[in-house]
Amino acid sequence: MQPRDLSQHEEYVAGRGIEEVARELGRDPAEFVKLASNENPLGPSPAAVGAIRESADDVHHYPKAVHADLVAALAERWDVSHEQIWLANGGDGVLDYLGRAMLDPGDAVLVPDPGFAYYGMSARFHHGQVNTYPVEEADDFDLSPANVFETYDGERIVYLTSPHNPTGSRFALEHVATIAERTDDETLVVVDEAYGEFTDGPSAIGLLDERDDVAVIRTFSKAYGIAGLRLGYGVVPKSWADAYAKVNTPFAASAVACAAGLAALEDGDHVEETTDLVRWAREYMYEHLEAPTYESHGNFVLVEVGDAGEVSETLKRRGVIVRDCSSFGLPEHVRITCGTREETRRAVSELNEVLAE
């Protein structure tokens, strides 16, 4: 037998890991820095690590109380009601829940191009069709309602990534509001704020007081540094928040993840140290890279390098792993995650040498 027709489905291309690259090249993993997956270079909050250890003895229980505790903390933080917080197995899990809650077979969604691959993947899992709106290099990857309305045709979900991956640009909050206003009543605008902690702009969560057609995604994978645990959440309008109970995979956010997330949320110092470092690294890259860069509101910088495949291969052999953006449809760009000061300086000097060759 065979699975259903998956010919329209694509595989997710993840940033390459150090172990994987070191093995391929027959080298010591310690020689490499990985700036390819927008992970936190400072690692997890020490408080989260403590919470992970403490929860170990308790993992024979299903996560009920700790799930409720984390929901309560997030609801308080964003000033929304408990049912408006949809915990999930990563931000990706939230995308799935929104797809389950919104899409009937054959419904279309509108995704940015270039953009995060999982929007389209998740929609296809839910028997949806995928249309795209352009994010143009000619406009410095600027994001405004004009991008969306160039192709919008009544899709059921429109995805906005703000700050955007891989470009680092963002939608101004009034632009998000305009898009929600001008799209159909039955179009949900999903604002993916996976990088929300790295921008000084306000969250779109504020729009939920007045609108029932906007949902926001946040994650613990980036600023909070616990990507390996898989924890994210959606914030949805009150009027349909009860759908969670009907679309949620039972206990998808694990006890260990919820405990770590709660500790990380309360460790404001770690987040601040992380965002300070990111601000420094972005500036350092703009200033010292001898290649065109784009202003970024995330923890990474997009760089125009010519042949991205070749440049990232050469850099890899020099011990620096960056994200070749060909799979995003940008064959001339690489995306470099903000590293520690030492890692960032090394990446910049290696890339400058490669480009000078």
- Closest residue to ligand PLP: CB criterion: 90
Q: How far is the CB of 128 from ligand PLP (least distance, A)?
A: 17
Applying CB under 6 A, the span of 132-140, 214-222, 274-282, 322-330 interacting with ligand PLP comes to 214-222
Residue 91 makes contact with ligand PLP by CB under 6 A? yes
- Site size for ligand PLP, by CB under 6 A? 13
Q: Where are the beta strands (DSSP E) in 196-319?
A: 214-219, 232-235, 300-304
Residue 165 makes contact with ligand PLP by CB under 6 A? yes
Q: How far is the CB of 37 from ligand PLP (least distance, A)?
A: 8
State how far the Cα of 89 lies from the Cα of 257, in Å rounded to an integer.
9
Residue 296 or 354: the one with the smaller Cβ distance to ligand PLP is 296
Q: Contact with ligand PLP (CB under 6 A): which of 80, 179, 194, 204?
A: 194
Site map 275..314 versus ligand PLP, x via CB under 6 A: ----------------------------------------
Q: Between helices 255-266 and 65-78, what is the axis angle to 10°?
A: 30
Residue 221 makes contact with ligand PLP by CB under 6 A? yes
Residue 194 or 354: the one with the smaller Cβ distance to ligand PLP is 194
Element housing 269 (H / E):
helix 268-288
| Closest C-alpha among 281, 278, 349 to residue 315 | 349
Query: How many Å is the Cα radius of gyration of the chain?
Result: 20
| Closest C-alpha among 129, 173, 111 to residue 328 | 111
Residue 44 makes contact with ligand PLP by CB under 6 A? no
Residue 128 in tokens: 């949806």
Q: Contact with ligand PLP (CB under 6 A): which of 32, 86, 97, 116?
A: 116
State how far the Cα of 95 lies from the Cα of 90, in Å rounded to an integer.
9
Applying CB under 6 A, the span of 206-214, 220-228, 276-284, 303-311 interacting with ligand PLP comes to 220-228
Half-sphere exposure of 66 (CA within 13 A, CB side): 22
**CA dist 25 to 8, 229, 316, Å?**
33, 28, 9
- In the complex, the residues that contact ligand PLP under the rule CB under 6 A are 90-92, 116, 161, 165, 192, 194, 219, 221-222, 227, 232
